[in-house]
């Protein structure tokens, strides 16, 4: 069974990845949708032509991650495409934002992404693809966006190194690094009165997957 797995699929770029994979890669058998908000995932499932499985789970919860690992072991799928989009950010000074919200960014953006990738990797076959959502904020320190930018620097570094390590398996790892994107991100992050020019998520995702035709499905 050849599948795509998308985290953060209930909104934003994760949801857009699900839409575009559904339209463009009909040879896949299923798409697995991961997010906390079950109702949104169920709505998305109804909109897709490809068979989908919904996993309403908290990626920072070890028991949820173990349950997903058990599901992989039971089904033994061939993961042709893994898209890690789950994450969030908060805008503001480090000394002004609740410390648990900031360590929560590390837990989800870094730890959960790393753990989920490791859980999925044994099922990722030759000529497959991993896409990790990083950010333009990854390239330099960002005062006022401190911890979020640091988490995305981690995602970028991790993705580059993993791409080199998996080259012998002919698995490609890409970190996408857009600037502000027109999603629900800033509903959570806040904007602190900033006027931001946001990109269309559909265009960002289209660019990210333009060479997916190289995947042997």
Least confident of 57-66, 135-144, 199-208: 199-208
Mean pLDDT within 6-15: 94
CATH number at residue 106: 3.40.50.720
Chain segment 127-186, per-residue pLDDT in tens = 999 999 999 889 999 999 999 999 999 999 999 999 999 999 999 999 998 766 555 555
Q: What is the pLDDT of residue 15?
A: 95
| Beta partners for residue 123, in sequence order | none
Between 197 and 111, residue with greater pLDDT:
111
What is the per-residue DSSP string for 146-195?
Answer: HHHHHHHHHHHHHHHHHHHHTGGGT-EEEEE--S-BSSTHHHHH--TT--
Q: Angle formed by the axes of helices 201-208 and 12-24, to 10°?
A: 50
CA 64/CA 56 separation, integer angstroms: 9
Shortest CA distance to 60 belongs to which of 123, 115, 101?
115
Instruction: Provide the Cα torsion 139, 142, 148, 150; round to 10°.
Output: 50
Q: Is it the case that residue 17 has pLDDT exceeding 80?
A: yes
Question: Percentage of the chain surpassing pLDDT 90?
Answer: 74
The answer on pLDDT for 123 being more than 80 is yes
Does the pLDDT at position 204 exceed 80?
A: no
How far is the C-alpha of 166 from the C-alpha of 215, rounded, in Å?
Answer: 15
Q: What is the mean pLDDT of the chain?
A: 90
Tokens of 52: 């989908």
Answer yes or no: is pLDDT of 215 > 70.
Answer: no
Of residues 79 and 216, more confidence is placed in 79
Q: Would you say residue 189 has pLDDT above 50?
A: no
Question: Is the pLDDT confidence value at 71 over 70?
Answer: yes
Catalogue the long-range contacts made by 153-160 (C-beta closer than 8 Å, 24 or more residues apart). 154/109, 154/110, 155/109, 155/110, 155/113, 158/113, 158/114, 158/132, 159/130, 159/132, 159/134
Which of 6-20, 25-39, 70-84, 181-195 is the least confident region?
Answer: 181-195
Could you read off the pLDDT of 85-112 as tens digits, one per residue?
999 988 899 999 999 999 999 999 999 9
* Domain tally, the chain: 1
Task: Give the per-residue pLDDT at 205.
Answer: 84
**d(Cα 151, Cα 53) in Å, to the nearest integer?**
29
Look at the alpha carbons of 100, 183, 87, 163 in this order and tell me if their dihedral is positive or negative: negative
Residue ranges making up the domain that contains 86: 2-214
Please give the average per-residue pLDDT across 25-31, as a whole number: 92
Q: What is the pLDDT of residue 177?
A: 84
For residues 185-202, average pLDDT: 58
């Amino acid at each position: 069974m050849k599948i795509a797995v998308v985290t953060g699929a209930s909104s934003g770029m994760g949801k857009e990845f699900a839409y575009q994979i559904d339209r463009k890669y009909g040879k896949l058998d299923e798409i697995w949708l991961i997010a906390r908000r079950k109702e949104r995932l169920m709505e998305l499932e109804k909109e897709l032509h490809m068979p989908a499985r919904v996993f309403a789970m908290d990626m920072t919860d070890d028991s949820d991650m173990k349950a997903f690992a058990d599901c992989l072991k039971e089904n033994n799928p061939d993961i042709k495409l893994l898209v890690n989009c789950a994450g969030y950010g908060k805008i503001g000074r480090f000394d002004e934002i609740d410390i648990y919200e900031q360590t929560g960014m590390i837990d989800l953006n870094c730890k959960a992404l790393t753990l989920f990738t490791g859980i999925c990797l044994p099922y990722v076959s030759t000529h497959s693809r991993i896409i990790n959502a990083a950010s333009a904020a990854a390239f330099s320190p960002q005062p006022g966006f401190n911890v979020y930018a640091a988490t995305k620097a981690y995602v970028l570094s991790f993705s580059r190194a993993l791409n080199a390590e998996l080259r012998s398996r002919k698995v490609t790892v890409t970190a996408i690094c857009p600037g502000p994107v027109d999603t629900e991100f800033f509903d959570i992050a806040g904007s602190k009165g900033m006027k931001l020019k946001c990109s269309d998520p559909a265009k960002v995702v289209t660019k990210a997957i333009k060479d997916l035709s190289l995947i042997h499905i």
